[in-house]
Structure 1
Amino acid sequence: MGNVLVFFRGYIPDWASIPLANVLLISSLIGLLMGLEQFLDKKGSHIHNYILTSIFLIIHSYYTFIEPDLNARNINIAFAYVIISFQIIYLMFRRTPPIAMRKITRSIGYLFCAVFIIQVLHIIYNVQKEDVVSDYFKSSTIESLFLSSWIIITVLMPYTITLMYNKRLIININKQEEKFSKAFHAAPFVITLSKFSDGKIFEVNKSVEAISDYKIEDIIGMNSAELNLWGQKSDRQKFLTSLSSNGFVKENEYIFRKKSGELFPGSMTAQVININNEDCIISVINDISNRKKAELNLRNSEATLRELNSTKDKFFSIIAHDLRTPFNGIMGFSQILRDQIKENNYEDIDKYAEIIYTSSEHAMALLSNLMEWSRSQSGQMKFNPEYIDLIALIQNTLGLLKTSSEQKQIHINLDAAANIIVYADKEMIETVLRNIISNAIKFTPKKGVINIQTKEMESEHLISVIDSGVGISKDDLEKLFHLDKSHTTAGTNDESRTGLGLILCKDFIDYHKGKIWAESEVGVGTNMRFCLPKINPSIN
Structure 2
Amino acid sequence: MDLQTAFFGTLIVFLMTELALTWLWLQHKSHYQGLFYLPLASALVGAASCLIVFRQQIPDWASIILANLLLFQVPILARKGFAAFFGLTTSRRFSYLLTTAAMLAQVYLTYIQPNLTLRLHVYGLVFSVLTGQLFWLLTRSVPQYYCKQLSPISLSLAVMVVGLIARSLSLVLFPLRDTDQLLDRNVDAYFILAMMGFWILFTYAVMILVSRRLMDEVNLERMKFDTMFYQSSDAS
Aligned CA distance change for structure 1 residues 170 and 131 (closer, same or farther; 3 Å): same
**SS where residue 136 of structure 1 aligns?**
coil
Q: How does 1:184-333 map to 2 (within 5 A)?
A: 184-187=229-232, 206-207=233-234, 210-211=235-236
Residue 160 (1) aligns with residue 197 (2): no
| Match among 220, 226, 229 for residue 175 of structure 1 | 220
CA distance in 2, matches of 1:180, 1:4: 52
* Offset from partner CA, 1:279-302 (integer Å, 9 cap, x none): xxxxxxxxxxxxxxxxxxxxxxxx
User: 1:30, 1:49 within 8 Å by CA — same for their partners in 2?
Assistant: yes
User: 1:3, 1:25 within 8 Å by CA — same for their partners in 2?
Assistant: no
CA distance in 1, matches of 2:125, 2:131: 10
Structure 1 stretches lacking a partner, 5+ long: 188-205, 212-540
Match of 1:70 in 2: 116
Deviation, structure 1 residue 48: 0.2
**SS where residue 183 of structure 2 aligns?**
helix
User: 2:86, 2:142 within 8 Å by CA — same for their partners in 1?
Assistant: yes
**SS where residue 94 of structure 1 aligns?**
helix
Match of 1:113 in 2: 158
CA distance in 1, matches of 2:179, 2:166: 18
Deviation, structure 1 residue 29: 1.5
Deviation, structure 1 residue 102: 0.6
Residue 33 (1) aligns with residue 91 (2): no
| Match among 56, 65, 68 for residue 19 of structure 1 | 65
Match of 2:193 in 1: 148
Residue 122 (1) aligns with residue 136 (2): no
CA distance in 1, matches of 2:179, 2:190: 17
> Once the two structures are aligned, what percentage of the paired residues are identical?
24
Q: How does 1:433-444 map to 2 (within 5 A)?
A: none
**Structure with larger RCO (C-alpha < 8 A, sep 6+):** 2
CA distance in 2, matches of 1:164, 1:92: 12
Match of 1:56 in 2: 102
User: What TM-score, normalized to structure 2?
Assistant: 0.72
Higher Rg of the two aligned structures: 1
Match of 2:32 in 1: none
Deviation, structure 1 residue 134: 5.1
User: 2:75, 2:134 within 8 Å by CA — same for their partners in 1?
Assistant: no
Match of 2:146 in 1: 101
Deviation, structure 1 residue 47: 0.3
CA distance in 2, matches of 1:12, 1:173: 51
CA RMSD of aligned residues (A): 2.0
Deviation, structure 1 residue 170: 1.5
* Offset from partner CA, 1:117-140 (integer Å, 9 cap, x none): 11122223324526345522212x
Deviation, structure 1 residue 96: 2.3
Match of 1:379 in 2: none
**SS where residue 87 of structure 2 aligns?**
coil
Residue 135 (1) aligns with residue 186 (2): no
User: 1:85, 1:116 within 8 Å by CA — same for their partners in 2?
Assistant: yes
**SS where residue 137 of structure 1 aligns?**
coil
Aligned CA distance change for structure 1 residues 101 and 87 (closer, same or farther; 3 Å): same
CA distance in 2, matches of 1:133, 1:36: 42
Aligned CA distance change for structure 1 residues 182 and 146 (closer, same or farther; 3 Å): same
CA distance in 2, matches of 1:163, 1:11: 40
**SS where residue 38 of structure 1 aligns?**
helix
CA distance in 1, matches of 2:97, 2:158: 23
| Match among 111, 122, 130 for residue 84 of structure 1 | 130
CA distance in 2, matches of 1:75, 1:20: 17
User: 1:37, 1:43 within 8 Å by CA — same for their partners in 2?
Assistant: yes
* Offset from partner CA, 1:373-408 (integer Å, 9 cap, x none): xxxxxxxxxxxxxxxxxxxxxxxxxxxxxxxxxxxx
